[in-house]
Homo-oligomer: A and B are copies of this chain.
Amino acid sequence: MKASCRAGSNIAFIKYWGVADAALLIPLNNSISMTLADAHTTTTVAWDSSGILPTDTIVIDGTQLQGAPAQRIVAHLDRLRALAGVSHKARVLSKSNFPMASGIASSASGFAALTVAACAALGCPWDASQLSAIARQASGSASRSLFGGFVEWERGSSHTSSVAHQMRAENHWALRDVIAIVSARAKRVSSSSGHRLAATSPFTTARTLCVADWLATVRHAIAERNLSLLGPILELDALAMHGVMMTSAPSLLYWQPGTVAVLHAARAWREQDGLPVFFTIDAGPNVHLICEAETAPTIEKRLRALPAVRQVITSRPGPGPQLLDEHLF
């Protein structure tokens, strides 16, 4: 009745932003991501079959959750209880090795690890695709963290068809995500609230129409390991998503001054110094610089020299969720 799992966060090359079905979390468009080896969440779940535990208890990064943040996790445990036909309460302990709620997808790695650990502890026989659909209901991007390497989440049209699959394994392409943390403060508007606002932007339809072409290019670029094909689409889709966010009602401006400093720096390094590096930005202020392994040390060094950058985390492509023999409690 107890299991532990480590799951990587992921960085989307084509973003998920906006929902076609807010209840099921069916997205407006397919998305493509790289699962991260070095930005991960470890979660232990213990189901209480004795019936002594009166409520779920959830501790994340040392803090016992109360109220709305706890409720989102309890709602996911409720889903799992309903699927497994049990009523046990659970003890959940989780920790990430990166700052939460600041543009690195802690909900992706967190809900992937929770889903896998909770199901393993219940002895459920579900495969990765089924687990991807279950995780999606808690956090859309978590559906992608159910797989390692390079992953596409098919929009689909129903609960069971809106799932991710692996395009290529993590050893296919030695890309690096060099993450410039410019602010570790929690976001004022969570991604899950923001998704519902996408429909209010005048740009959502245009972005959704373009994404079909961009997806085809990104699939091709990944297959061919072609960064100069991938990179411009990476930047364009990130800017398009932030254009949607800024023009939604209310307007979401996730960028901070340091965000813009890193964007200009990255473009200058590429255009003036010839370094093959491209940026993307999730729903937060931090900037992810995507480059090949050989370029990463130079990018890290240059980022650390920027006053706006507080921390640099570099990640390789990582595996899918791993069950662990050691538990957090």
Tally of contact residues, A, Cβ under 8 A: 30
CB of A169 within 8 Å of the partner chain: no
**Interface assignment of A98: CB less than 8 Å from any CB of chain B:** no
Known interface pairs A255-B260, A257-B257, A260-B255. Does A239 touch B246 (Cβ–Cβ under 8 Å)?
A: yes
Is A160 engaged at the interface, CB distance under 8 Å to the other chain? no
Q: Mark A267-280, 1 if CB is under 8 A from B, else 0.
A: 10000000000000
Assess whether A22 is interfacial by the CB under 8 Å rule: no
Bound Cα distance A249, B308 (Å): 27
A59 at the interface (CB under 8 A from B): no
Q: Are A308 and B260 interface neighbours, CB within 8 A?
A: no
Binary contact readout A182-198 vs B (1 if CB under 8 angstroms, 0 otherwise)? 00000000000000000
- B260–A253 contact, CB under 8 A? yes
Residues of chain B lying within 8 A (CB to CB) of residue A256: 260, 264
Q: B residues within 8 A CB of A243? A: 203, 239-240, 242-244, 246-247
Once the chains bind, are B236 and A251 in contact (CB under 8 Å)?
yes
**Nearest chain B CB to A199 CB, angstrom units:** 13
| A51 contact set on B, CB distance < 8 A | none
A99 CB, min distance to chain B CBs, angstroms: 19
- Chain A positions 174-224 with a Cβ under 8 Å from a chain B Cβ: 202-203, 205-207, 209-210
* Bound CA–CA A279/B202 (angstroms): 19
Q: Is A247 touching B239 in the complex (CB atoms < 8 A)?
A: yes
Of the residues B209, B236, B257, contact of A261 by C-beta under 8 Å: B257
Chain B: minimal CB distance from A256 (Å)? 6
Q: Which residues of B contact A255 (CB under 8 A)?
A: 260
A258: CB under 8 A from chain B? yes
Contact A235 B251 (CB under 8 A): yes
Residues of B within 8 A of A267 (CB): 253
Q: What is the bound-complex CA distance between A267 and B253, given in angstroms?
A: 10
B residues near A247, Cβ cutoff 8 Å: 236, 239-240, 243
Asked if A259 is at the interface of the complex by the 8 Å CB criterion, the answer is: yes
Interface: A263 (CB within 8 A): yes
Q: How far is the CA of A46 from the CA of B56 in the complex (A)?
A: 84
Instruction: List A301-329 residues whose CB lies under 8 Å from chain B.
Output: 308
Q: Which residues of B contact A209 (CB under 8 A)?
A: 202
Choose from B202, B242, B253, B263 the contact partner of A264 (Cβ within 8 Å): B253
Residues A202 and B253 in contact in the complex (CB < 8 Å), given A259-B260, A260-B259, A260-B260: no
Cα–Cα, bound, A253→B261 (Å): 11
In the bound complex, CA of A308 to CA of B205 (Å): 35
Q: Using Cβ atoms and an 8 Å threshold, which residues of chain B touch A240?
A: 202-203, 243, 247
Q: Please, how many angstroms separate the alpha-carbon atoms of A133 and B247 in the complex?
A: 32
Distance to closest chain B CB from A255 (angstroms) = 5
A97 to B: closest C-beta gap in Å:
28
Contacting A205 at CB < 8 Å: which of B206, B244, B258, B261? B206
Residue contacts A-B, CB under 8 angstroms, 6 given: A202-B240, A203-B206, A235-B251, A239-B251, A257-B308, A259-B260
With A203-B207, A243-B244 known, 8 other A-B pairs at CB within 8 A are A203-B203, A203-B243, A206-B206, A239-B246, A239-B251, A253-B260, A255-B260, A256-B264
